[in-house]
Structure 1
Amino acid sequence: MIQTNKKGNWFEITVPVEWEKYTVETLFKDFWKAPKKLVHTFRMEKGVLLNGQLPDWTLPLRKSERLSVKLFTEEESSYVPQYLNVEVLYEDDHLIVFNKPAGMDTHPNEDGQTGTLANAAAFHMQASGEVNRPRHIHRLDRDTTGAVLFAKNPLIAAILDKMLEERSIKRIYLALADGIIRQKKGTIDKPIGRDRHHPTRRRVSETGQHAITHFKVLEKLKQKNLTLVQCTLDTGRTHQIRVHFSSIGHPLAGDELYGGSDAFYRQALHAAKMEFTHPFTQEKIICHAPFIDEEPIFINIDPNEI
């Protein structure tokens, strides 16, 4: 793990030996894959120091040098801070992972909207004395529960966005599908596009975006005519798991939009686990999201065993 420290507005990293192959410039560009515009801003505003001095961005880094980045500057949040009872699964100076309950949007869909996870994140940061704007890295549907990742500053947000795009942030979902799925595991590889006849629904479409869902059957609940499945995604399309399972004749229980039964009070989908390597500390972060619903079908599964 790389040694780091927060000093006022500055984030300080002790350069590890494995970074000696980088310059300051290539650390930002090739290792963190930070956007050019953001790196340019750091340079112009003298927001990067090496051993307390303005660095030569082209010289190789050396082990034990102190790299400082001005990350913790005040920003006005675009979300109305609001206290909501939401569990924090992991938090440090740079990011937060929340366990989103059902019936809550990830972020406002119109100006001034409250009651969303982003409002809760803004309040949580403000209450901790952090005057920064939370940025959601991905989202879950309103009635899908589980782990959602937020960034606390523009640099970590840009890095995490790139990691999500490259699928180095791994997420595992649990779902209850209608009917009994016979195979033990499988892959659904079907493109997904908008449904012209419905404002929010998606559908499998030849002209849609590439979408791949892998699944493994965990339990066949024959008395209830349901199958508990574990899912991982190679792509992150809107409603992907819901659309894919509906397309193979096994819509998620409770998912009225895609033809699911009333065996569950909402679409039975939970983001149970998130795993990634922290961009700054290189620490492996693993978050298990406990089930919030008092629903015995989900409660019987131990998230730590996923």
Structure 2
Amino acid sequence: MTYLIQQQDMQKTVEQFLLSYGYSAALIRRLRHTEQSILKNGIPVYTTYRLNEGDSLAVTLPEEHGSENIVSVPMDLDIRYEDRDLLVVNKAAGVPIHPSQGNHDNTLANGIAWYLGEKGEAATYRAINRLDRDTTGLLILARHALSACMLSDMVRTHAIRRCYLAAASGLVPPEGVIDAPIARTCDSTIERCVDFERGDSARTHYRTLYYNRDTDCSLVELRLETGRTHQIRVHMKHIGHPLPGDFLYNPDYRLIGRQALHSWQLDFIHPIKKEPLHFEAPLPEDMRRLFGQ
């Protein structure tokens, strides 16, 4: 990464400048301990060096060894966007995003390891937003440490706008806001519930797009103000319209074999290029069938 120092950045230290551009303190510490990683006009400098207008500051991100414990497995990936900083993937149903006990070689991480390996790369796997195993749709992956810390900060500050589509049981009201705190249930490490005493604040905005009388399902657009675990699934159950096929909150598989939830839209500013990005992924076939499509 190369930066031409402008007047407003004069007399900032290298560290102050990098922090203002979204570098995390942890990444700056790694740069300090990597030879030739910070050059001012071609000469190595410390992070305490003060910058002058017209300086050229070049930062080389430390080379990484990749996620070596992730097995490379060929996978049919639907990649919607790719550049040197990030990937946007349309994830299929039944695919966990991270390896875990019982899921060592069937995750998105395995497929990405294979995909990058075919390109001669060995990048560390960094999923920025999380989707449950059976939730389909758009997911952001960072390709290096800088985009990872910048995108993670954007998640924390709600600068990445996510929109979901869900099939919900029954006729859902035209629109509304669900403001109900969510906590872990007392007898499970996985299941969540609405709990107004112990829960963390959670708000979900919803709008009903279509109702199919034959399946008694509503197609609902949902936007999150917060990002609690299972937030949409828990909130829709709370208002009496759970998602069909949800093994935790509504195990009714007559219409669909997994929770009918899809990450439909993503909007955010590219962390490096600072350009607005917009992505959409069409509703998957199993959800379209619920609405006669």
TM (norm. structure 1) is: 0.84
Q: Distance in 1 between matches of 2:242 and 2:8?
A: 48
Q: Distance in 2 between matches of 1:223 and 1:18?
A: 65
CA RMSD, 1 decimal: 2.5
Report Cα offsets for 1:38-62 as digits up to 9, x if no partner. 2122123241223322246453464
1:15-30 aligned at under 5 Å gives the runs: 15=4, 20=9, 24-30=14-20
Map of 1:190 onto structure 2: 180
Give how far 1:71 is off.
2.2
Report Cα offsets for 1:219-241 as digits up to 9, x if no partner. 12233211111111111111110
1:209-248 aligned at under 5 Å gives the runs: 209-248=200-239
Out of 41, 66, 85, the position equivalent to 1:94 is 85
Map of 1:5 onto structure 2: none
Q: Give yes or no for the alignment of 1:40 onto 2:29.
A: yes
Matched residue SS, 1:207: coil
Q: Distance in 1 between matches of 2:236 and 2:291?
A: 22
Map of 2:41 onto structure 1: 51
1:1-306 aligned at under 5 Å gives the runs: 12-15=1-4, 20=9, 24-32=14-22, 34-46=23-35, 47-55=37-45, 57=47, 58-60=49-51, 62=53, 66-71=56-61, 73-77=63-67, 78-110=69-101, 113-182=104-173, 184-205=174-195, 206-259=197-250, 261=252, 262-293=254-285, 295-297=287-289
User: CA contact under 8 A between 1:88 and 1:98: conserved in structure 2?
Assistant: yes
User: CA contact under 8 A between 1:178 and 1:260: conserved in structure 2?
Assistant: no
Give how far 1:296 is off.
3.0
Gap regions ≥5 residues in structure 1: 1-11, 302-306
Judging changes above 3 Å, is the alpha-carbon distance between structure 1 residues 75 and 180 closer, same or farther for their aligned structure 2 residues? same
Gap regions ≥5 residues in structure 2: none
Judging changes above 3 Å, is the alpha-carbon distance between structure 1 residues 294 and 179 closer, same or farther for their aligned structure 2 residues? closer
User: CA contact under 8 A between 1:24 and 1:61: conserved in structure 2?
Assistant: no
Judging changes above 3 Å, is the alpha-carbon distance between structure 1 residues 264 and 14 closer, same or farther for their aligned structure 2 residues? same
Q: Which amino acid aligns with 2:123?
A: N
Q: Which amino acid aligns with 2:117?
A: Q
Judging changes above 3 Å, is the alpha-carbon distance between structure 1 residues 300 and 15 closer, same or farther for their aligned structure 2 residues? farther
Which is worse superposed, 165-174 or 149-158? Answer: 149-158
User: CA contact under 8 A between 2:38 and 2:46: conserved in structure 1?
Assistant: no
Q: Distance in 2 between matches of 1:267 and 1:61?
A: 56
Q: Which amino acid aligns with 2:190?
A: T
Report Cα offsets for 1:134-158 as digits up to 9, x if no partner. 2111211111000111112222212
TM (norm. structure 2) is: 0.88
Matched residue SS, 2:183: strand
Report Cα offsets for 1:2-43 as digits up to 9, x if no partner. xxxxxxxxxx335386974765322321331x3322212212
Which is worse superposed, 141-150 or 248-257? Answer: 248-257
Judging changes above 3 Å, is the alpha-carbon distance between structure 1 residues 132 and 250 closer, same or farther for their aligned structure 2 residues? same
Give how far 1:279 is off.
1.5
Judging changes above 3 Å, is the alpha-carbon distance between structure 1 residues 281 and 105 closer, same or farther for their aligned structure 2 residues? same
Q: Percent identity?
A: 35
Give how far 1:119 is off.
0.9
- Matched residue count: 287
User: CA contact under 8 A between 2:215 and 2:291: conserved in structure 1?
Assistant: no
User: CA contact under 8 A between 2:203 and 2:225: conserved in structure 1?
Assistant: yes
Which is worse superposed, 43-52 or 199-208? Answer: 43-52
Give how far 1:75 is off.
1.1
